[in-house]
Chain A
């Protein structure tokens, strides 16, 4: 069996038949099942949570939770004001740097975001702005993201109940933008607000049922990174971002 290990870089399955036969036997079958009907869930309480709430009501729930429980900053704005709001957020980060040290910001190249924002116009002497560019390859993008203080990404959806933004990895929006910089800025279209995880996982389920590949990395992010590993005391900012800003675009 180990001979099949010579080349691991080829996608392959090892040792499956014997392994599954053993499980089948333990379950009292002579061979593994080839068909199963997935039973319906016994209850529907997960679908009832915040059912019928308007997007404005969902926005309120999200705002409240993200602010009080996650310690995230929540800003409401409009499409036309987004550029100015992002400018302010970046400027504040610059002002927080001592000795007017240079601040780098990396933007996702998401078309939905770039339609509303012109990142280069946010640059100044102290503030250097980058846009994720797949063509530069791994090293260059990671170097920039690691140096950047702020990462700006476009959310796929946002979940009111848990103050969560959903990100799909995309060639134009790498995983590292919301991971390596100290501050994450999530731009959320109000129309993408959902009550809870139920609706977001349903979208992925439907994708899978249509036979589409799920993006290699789907992240459900609720606030900045945190830990309670020392004496159960909550510390915000561990390996991931130390702060999170949610910008909800009202007319989007």
Chain B
């Protein structure tokens, strides 16, 4: 899977997804629970705004000095006996990993959840070498078994599926004979793929945060699959977006504390695993070889742009869990592995406007995402910037631009404005019948479909107001 998850157009996708009653119910329910848990955890900790300030400061400092910290990180990884590959593009990253797979003659790879490996389309590259790749995070595993269905949430990827659907998938693909009880299905997967961890030649993980001062890669997880993937196979490859770094362990404390509370409402997740290089010579478990792949893939362009703030993101999905647009259309409607407000900002930046020009409009500008973001990313402002940029780059539809420039022209001339308002009021009162406008085109059409218009009285507000004064 690459970043793009659908070839169907945005409006068509939304239409289909909004018919999915289960998905809409489960998304609404999930949003409420995750939103509440986050809020309770933040309140319990106290001084949440101060924590957010620190999170923002740390991430900004790293971005401002990214060249320095990436250098320091790579020096320390090598000092510990690991290798570092700097990949400017997705292809450079997958090429490097492919070379390792070939050198090792790897037959099996176990992966723990990683958004950036999805972004660079790693699985296909591994598989074309005759190497099996097993997604071991339960949510990702469900999607992989279901013919690589697209994720719908960056923390809970199979959120759109219910237990009945999951049971049917397991029965169909894995000959699962048990009930649809989540615990029974979870234990089934535990037993079913345990041997994969023991047999795998390579474990591939993402990286929540790398620590520059020590060359450490930190993974924030719950299921234990990332621990297995980094303890049993002889080779560990960690893939990280180039901005996912903190200077020292002191800052790691702050960002991990913010991430766990914002993502799942807990002080810490079940496992926070800090991995420093391959295992030491005298240890007997853990990988013999460690590779860190640092991926740019468009991030440096963002760094030099007005969208730089988005690189502070710690992928907690708090913005997703509060977004009313996401609530109604669900994650798969975005057509990107990154959904919700973060996805609507990031996808066009990493994947281009051609595929993702509609996403900045999946927003009511309520700014709730801004309020919950643990590193204070002004997400809705960035969505507005996308809209401005697309308008000035003439990416928006011609009719929309024509309407806007027409409006601008009229709005700038009081005489024209007065006249058009008067004409408009008269024309509208002649046309609107039973709250519906027969002239239904473009944006007006969509507006009309879901709303009734008031019955007009043939005059504009300004003339009504002026007449009222005289009375």
Which positions in A face B, CB cutoff 8 Å? 2, 5, 8-16, 18-29, 32-36, 38-39, 41-43, 45-46, 48-49, 69, 134, 136-138, 141-142, 146, 159, 161-162, 164, 169-171, 174-176, 179, 196-198, 201-202, 204-205, 207-209, 213-233, 235, 237-241
Which residue on A lies nearest to B280, using beta carbons?
Answer: A216
A46-B51, A201-B249, A216-B275 known; A227 vs B222 contact (CB < 8 Å): yes
Can you pick out 30 interface pairs between chain A and chain B where the beta carbons lie within 8 Å of each other?
Answer: A2-B99, A8-B100, A10-B83, A11-B77, A11-B81, A16-B71, A19-B296, A21-B67, A28-B304, A32-B67, A142-B198, A159-B268, A169-B279, A197-B272, A205-B213, A208-B211, A213-B79, A213-B277, A214-B214, A217-B275, A217-B276, A220-B274, A229-B139, A230-B163, A231-B182, A232-B26, A235-B183, A237-B183, A239-B190, A240-B271
Complex partner residue of A179 from B46, B99, B156, B228, CB under 8 angstroms: B228
Proximity bits, B202-233, A CB within 8 Å = 1, else 0: 00000000010110100000111101101110
Complex partner residue of B158 from A35, A146, A229, CB under 8 angstroms: A229
- Residues of chain A contacted by B289 (CB below 8 angstroms): 8-9
Determine how close the nearest CB of chain A comes to the CB of B190; give it in whole angstroms.
6
CA of A217 to CA of B321 in the docked complex: distance in angstroms?
Answer: 32
Determine how close the nearest CB of chain A comes to the CB of B126; give it in whole angstroms.
16
CA of A79 to CA of B168 in the docked complex: distance in angstroms?
Answer: 52
Additional 11 contacts, C-beta under 8 A, given A230-B142, A239-B193: A11-B83, A16-B74, A43-B54, A49-B45, A136-B284, A137-B284, A171-B284, A176-B285, A204-B249, A230-B182, A239-B136
CA of A240 to CA of B161 in the docked complex: distance in angstroms?
Answer: 24
Complex partner residue of B225 from A26, A214, A223, A238, CB under 8 angstroms: A238
- Residues of chain A contacted by B224 (CB below 8 angstroms): 179, 225, 238-241
Determine how close the nearest CB of chain A comes to the CB of B214; give it in whole angstroms.
4
Determine how close the nearest CB of chain A comes to the CB of B92; give it in whole angstroms.
7
- Residues of chain A contacted by B61 (CB below 8 angstroms): 38-39
* Cβ contact within 8 Å between A134 and B291: no
Asked if B82 is at the interface of the complex by the 8 Å CB criterion, the answer is yes
* Cβ contact within 8 Å between A230 and B185: yes
- Residues of chain B contacted by A207 (CB below 8 angstroms): 214
* Cβ contact within 8 Å between B163 and A29: no
Determine how close the nearest CB of chain B comes to the CB of A18; give it in whole angstroms.
8
- Residues of chain A contacted by B83 (CB below 8 angstroms): 8, 10-14
- Residues of chain B contacted by A221 (CB below 8 angstroms): 270-271
A26-B304, A202-B250, A226-B222 known; A231 vs B162 contact (CB < 8 Å): yes
A42-B53, A201-B250 known; A222 vs B303 contact (CB < 8 Å): no
CA of A32 to CA of B300 in the docked complex: distance in angstroms?
Answer: 14
Asked if B283 is at the interface of the complex by the 8 Å CB criterion, the answer is yes
Give chain B interface residues in 128-163, CB to chain A under 8 Å. 136-139, 142, 156-159, 161-163
Output the residue of B26, B83, B185 with the most chain A CB within 10 A: B83
Which residue on B lies nearest to A175, using beta carbons?
Answer: B231
* Cβ contact within 8 Å between B278 and A216: yes
Complex partner residue of A216 from B163, B264, B279, CB under 8 angstroms: B279
Determine how close the nearest CB of chain B comes to the CB of A201; give it in whole angstroms.
4
* Cβ contact within 8 Å between A174 and B284: yes
Output the residue of B82, B198, B227, B252 with the most chain A CB within 10 A: B227
Which residue on B lies nearest to A141, using beta carbons?
Answer: B284
CA of A19 to CA of B74 in the docked complex: distance in angstroms?
Answer: 12
**Which stretch of B253-261, B389-397, B411-419 is in the interface?**
B253-261
Asked if B456 is at the interface of the complex by the 8 Å CB criterion, the answer is no
CA of A45 to CA of B61 in the docked complex: distance in angstroms?
Answer: 19
* Cβ contact within 8 Å between B253 and A217: no
Which residue on B lies nearest to A31, using beta carbons?
Answer: B67
- Residues of chain A contacted by B185 (CB below 8 angstroms): 230
CA of A201 to CA of B248 in the docked complex: distance in angstroms?
Answer: 9
Asked if B2 is at the interface of the complex by the 8 Å CB criterion, the answer is no
